[in-house]
Structure 1
Amino acid sequence: MHRWIQSSLLVMLFAFFTGCLPNSPKSALKLAIPLISETATVTSSTTVTPSTTTTPAISVTVNNVSFANGSTYDFGTLSIHSASTALSIQISNTGTGSLTLSGSPIISNSGTNSSDFSITTTNLNSEISAGGSSSFSVVFTASANGSRTTTLTIASNDTSTPSFTIVLTGTGSIQPSMAVSYSGTDLANGATLSFGNVLTGQSSSVATITITNSGTQDLTITGGTAGITKSGTNNADFALDTTGTQSIITSGGGTTTFTLTFSPTTTGAYSVTLSIPNDDPNKNPFTLVLTGTGTAPEINVKINGTSIASGGTYDFGSIYSGSSSSAIPVVIENTGTGNLSISAFGISGGNASNFTITGSVSSPVASSSTTGFNLTFSPNAVQTFTTTLSITNTDSNEGTYTITLNGTGTTAPNINLKIAGTTYASGSMYYFGNYQTSTNNSITFTIENTGGSTLSVTSITGSTTSFVYSTLNTTIAGSSNTTFSVNFTPQSAGLLSTTLTIASDDPDTSSYTVTLKGTGLNDATADCGAVGSNGDKVILLSTSTYDGNLGGKSGADTKCQSDATVTAYNSSSYKAFIGTSTSRTVTGTDWVLYADTRYFNSSGNCIFRTDGSKKPGSFFAPIGTSSDKVFTGLKSDYTGGTDRCGSTSWTSNSTNDNGIFGIANATDSTAIYNVSPGGQYKCSQAKKLYCVEQ
């Protein structure tokens, strides 16, 4: 009930007051009043959200300084027709809505002297978002003497400041305007002109400096050209030449020039101030900072890694006459600060022809860089050699760098090897002989130095299984010798070999090699008895086959000595086991077997033993391992048979002639004597040879 009474009273009061308003139409108020019972209950409510309004707000800064609407900016006094530096004006939107620049043109320029103020709006945006900004620039160029003014207007949708104005002023003056340039580039007052690095004692290129007067009044160099001064340490090293320089430069673009040259007398950095007094009210005095660095090269020479001062000596030492030293590197270093130029280098005087330069140098050599070549010493006699190395360069105190080169020619060492008193050349073979396995047999080896210089033996190498070497002296004086022994102890049956290598500083034969061979024999005491006075011998089966024309017995011997199997042994001591009419039979003068001697095959097994008459006894092992046919020309009693391929023995390969042959793997008389089958009896049939060690 109380809420209903309160609502009714409020409606009546509202109607009364609105009805009392003058000129208020009665229809201006339309009111709907709900009827609410006193028992009514409010079950819901409605929230009313007010509408949001965004507005832009313009703000202006000039050269980064906040600028009020209607304020004035003064460019100051400039010479007529001289342009100011560009004035930057920034428009910012500090509001909440987008700022629209609505003017046309976007920036209005109006005033008595508007043409003296040039506006650039290239980067200016017509729409500036909230919190954003955009800029334009203005340059003042006075077209006449006196005060100049204009007004800039910025129209926008900022309702509080729809037109933002800036008053620009400046003064044109009749006065000189000085500008200085080098090589077409303007230099600001106080700018630095660098001459770079220049070698001490030398000069830079000439720098021509131009003074231009763009003002409306003649420019005067105060005190004349003599008024142009330099100050600073070693300023005299910058030469100023004002010959022909005008002290009064006419207005409207008149020019004059002077030159500068930098000629450092010391190393290091220079900084000198050049001052030009003048009557330009804005640039008096006009100064330039002149800089440059005095540099100097410094040569240093290293030979084989060691620095050698100019006038010093390098010794190649002793080199064998007729040979050459290794190439020795010569390094030219520039330890200075300036480029080092090398105009010549070479060897002269004395024994110059015995010293050789290879390679070439790079020039100039930059600071902390190097170049170089190689030197070789080649003596041709046993004497001392000397010459002079000269390097012509731009080092101020070592312009000709000289080094004395020395070297000595000596007689080279010369190695020679003797075994049991006989000389064996490098690459040859020494045969120890045939010995039962595990028995020791020692031979003395002698190393001779037939040269004039000491021979250094650095090593002796080879197999140490069956051939063992003793130690020896490693240095052998000229015309002297040393000895060592080699023990041959066969560890197995058959042919054994190794290569003995003697390494030394002999310039011609630095690696001296001899092949050592020997044959290991199985113990044959049970079958063949003890070794006889002539030692044990070997019978080998040839690799090659031959027809009956062997060239006689001497031809057969030669074939044995050159056969591949036999050459693995001491081949020069082998003869063919063949018979002739008289001389090469068991009773002849050229029989190939010794008396009371054991004969072994290539496997180290005893074949037979001869008796006191040189006749073989029973066979205990075959000569060969295959059934090869072998020419013999011997009967089973080892006398000469009649069939020996020709009337003069072993000179025919005719099918009409026959030759007695043996079977290589036989252990009875057929190893020596066979005459059948007839087809294999013919001298035209190729057969092998038995080759007997002598």
Structure 2
Amino acid sequence: MPRPPVTNFLSDSIGLGGGGGDVPAPKLEIQYNGVSRESGSTLDLGAEPINTADGKTGTVTIKNTGTAAITLPGSPNIVALSGTDASLFTVTQPTSSNLPAGASVTFTLTFKPTTEGAKTATIKIQSSDAAVGSFQLNLTGTGGAAAPRLAVSVGATQIAANGSYGMGSVEIDSSGNAVTFTVRNTGSATANLDGPPAVTASPIGQFVLNLAGFPTSIAANDTATFTIQFSPTGTAEAKSSNIAVAYNSSLSFLFTVTGTATPKPVPTIAISHNSSSFTSGGSIPTFGVVWPTLTSSTKTVTISNTGTATMTGITLSKPSGHTGDFTISAFSGGTTLAAGASGTFTIQFAPSTTGARAAVVRVATTNGTNGTASSADLNVSGTGKTGADVLVSWTGTNEKAVNDTDGGYKVCYSKTSGFTAVHNGTTIFCADVPNSGGTTPVSKVISVPTFGDWYFKVYSYGKYNTIGGSPSAQTSAVNVPST
């Protein structure tokens, strides 16, 4: 009978297939120390001294890398242990026998030899993975002579050999809480210590060991403790030190302690006036010229704490100069200033006399410079005004010989109207305007000693009338401003 055409056969197959596609399936994968192992391969647990309390342990991971759940139907144990030296190996059973796609579970292997020499055993894991229905690993290990072996832990946290332990964050120039480290002899012979635990790498002073009562030897399965405090100094940064517990002349348990030094909260002072910085001191712009007995306008100085801790011991003083001519108000912030806060005080100039006047205003704190005492001197200055110029003019008289070499005018002035023109130097002042070379001026600039209303009279005098003629008409009051 002739064969059907191939094209018809393919067409029938496609019609019966119902659309095709991947079928979900489980996939078993076994890892030891993060490395995938094939069924039938050997795990070497290495050498272990005989009769240790803990033995040598390793972790095995069972993973389902497939797309459907996987079951582990082994009974009574998911992981079955057998073989010549099975009694020297123990298995901590996985906590689940059903793994969804992508899930995993672990169990622990322990090797505790009681005699020296090579030891072997086998573990088997049954699974619903059709490709690996029974997964087998061959175990080997070597029992060695009784020997010490040290391990270090903090509470329930075991520190791996050459591993590290984090001490957290501590402020610069402070000390963290003391952390207790437990040294245990997990071997089967006494560990004779070469010395107490020690820092083996700088910076040594960052981690402080308290070794009070630490023994010179640790018996098998016995413990000893010491503490470490993280006490950072210097710069704020990550810090670490190596710690060694040396024993039996050639052995050592090494680990690293780490910590982060954080900036220490400190106050930082800033001083300003009119948006200019005077944190390091300097000269405040002058108060200018001010009449004695008057007080200038105020100059405001701002003190700020730009740091991260409270600033304390804030004081204001006038240590030198014409201290009585300058007044300073109380600081609005009192004696302390919280981090980020500001306050102000004012300075005024009230000259007690004429001429240049100056003083020093000192701003001090007990901790304003990053935690240490600070002091800044502000130089203040002003001038006590000596007088104000007033131009007095008059019309020349016909007094006989006024324009002679012995003649002239007398300008008298006082703050009292209707005064008698007799110079006394305190309330009435007179100034001569003598003839000079045949020409007698008819004006004079008078410098009055104070501000306010001043009144003026002008007298002429001559060679034949030295007493002077009649005064000029009294000048209306001239107001000399106080500013």
- Which bracket does the TM-score occupy, shorter chain normalised? 0.5 to 0.7
Deviations 1:245-267 (A, max 9, x none): 22323433512214445353x44
Return the offset for 1:98.
Answer: 8.0
Task: Give yes or no for contact 2:154–2:182 (8 Å, CA) kept in 1.
Answer: no
For 1:151 and 1:281, how far apart are their aligned partners in 2? 39
For 2:225 and 2:344, how far apart are their aligned partners in 1? 57
Deviations 1:548-584 (A, max 9, x none): xxxxxxxxxxxxxxxxxxxxxxxxxxxxxxxxxxxxx
| One-letter amino acid matched to 2:198 | I
State the partner residue of 2:217. Answer: 248
Deviations 1:609-648 (A, max 9, x none): xxxxxxxxxxxxxxxxxxxxxxxxxxxxxxxxxxxxxxxx
Which structure exhibits the higher relative contact order, with contacts defined as CA atoms closer than 8 Å and separated by 6 or more residues?
2
Q: Give the match's secondary structure for 1:84.
A: strand
Q: Give the match's secondary structure for 2:270.
A: strand
| One-letter amino acid matched to 2:124 | L
For 1:67 and 1:295, how far apart are their aligned partners in 2? 49
State the partner residue of 2:126. Answer: 154
More helix per residue? 1
Deviations 1:422-447 (A, max 9, x none): xxxxxxxxxxxxxxxxxxxxxxxxxx
Q: Give the match's secondary structure for 1:113.
A: helix
Could you tell me which of 79, 87, 90 is aligned with 1:113? 87
State the partner residue of 2:43. Answer: 73
State the partner residue of 1:388. Answer: 362
Query: Structure 1 residue 213 and structure 2 residue 184: aligned?
Result: yes
State the partner residue of 2:255. Answer: 287
For 1:191 and 1:222, how far apart are their aligned partners in 2? 21
Q: Give the match's secondary structure for 1:151.
A: strand
Distance 1:164 1:333, change over 3 A: closer
State the partner residue of 2:150. Answer: 178
State the partner residue of 1:359. Answer: 333
Task: Give yes or no for contact 2:191–2:220 (8 Å, CA) kept in 1.
Answer: no
Return the offset for 1:62.
Answer: 2.0
Distance 1:345 1:196, change over 3 A: same
Distance 1:272 1:354, change over 3 A: closer
Task: Give yes or no for contact 2:299–2:348 (8 Å, CA) kept in 1.
Answer: no
More strand per residue? 2
Matches within 5 A, 1:331-410: 331-334=304-307, 342-349=311-318, 350=323, 354-359=328-333, 365=339, 370-378=340-348, 382=352, 387-393=361-367, 395=369, 399-404=373-378, 406=380
Q: Give the match's secondary structure for 2:61.
A: strand
Task: Give yes or no for contact 2:53–2:186 (8 Å, CA) kept in 1.
Answer: yes
Could you tell me which of 306, 330, 334 is aligned with 2:276? 306
Task: Give yes or no for contact 1:357–1:374 (8 Å, CA) kept in 2.
Answer: yes
| One-letter amino acid matched to 1:62 | Q
Deviations 1:135-174 (A, max 9, x none): 331212345535473422314372x754333334556775
State the partner residue of 1:135. Answer: 104
Return the offset for 1:393.
Answer: 0.7
| One-letter amino acid matched to 2:224 | T
Task: Give yes or no for contact 1:219–1:278 (8 Å, CA) kept in 2.
Answer: no
For 2:253 and 2:63, how far apart are their aligned partners in 1? 34
State the partner residue of 1:666. Answer: none
For 2:212 and 2:306, how far apart are their aligned partners in 1? 43
| One-letter amino acid matched to 2:134 | S
Q: Give the match's secondary structure for 2:220.
A: coil
| One-letter amino acid matched to 1:262 | S
Deviations 1:188-244 (A, max 9, x none): 433154574644xx453463442320514466474212x724323x53555444343
Deviations 1:56-82 (A, max 9, x none): 685533245443333332333455325
For 1:295 and 1:88, how far apart are their aligned partners in 2? 43
State the partner residue of 2:287. Answer: 317
Gaps of 5+ in 2: 386-448, 453-477
TM-score using structure 2 length: 0.57
Return the offset for 1:405.
Answer: 5.8
Return the offset for 1:329.
Answer: 1.7
Return the offset for 1:88.
Answer: 1.1
Could you tell me which of 300, 303, 309 is aligned with 1:330? 303
TM-score using structure 1 length: 0.42
Gaps of 5+ in 1: 1-5, 11-44, 412-449, 454-477, 482-504, 507-694
Does 61-70 or 169-178 show the bigger shift? 169-178
Q: Give the match's secondary structure for 1:231.
A: coil
Distance 1:84 1:220, change over 3 A: same
Return the offset for 1:90.
Answer: 2.4
Task: Please give the root-mean-square deviation of Cα atoms over the aligned residues, in Å.
Answer: 5.0
Distance 1:141 1:102, change over 3 A: closer
For 1:168 and 1:116, how far apart are their aligned partners in 2? 11
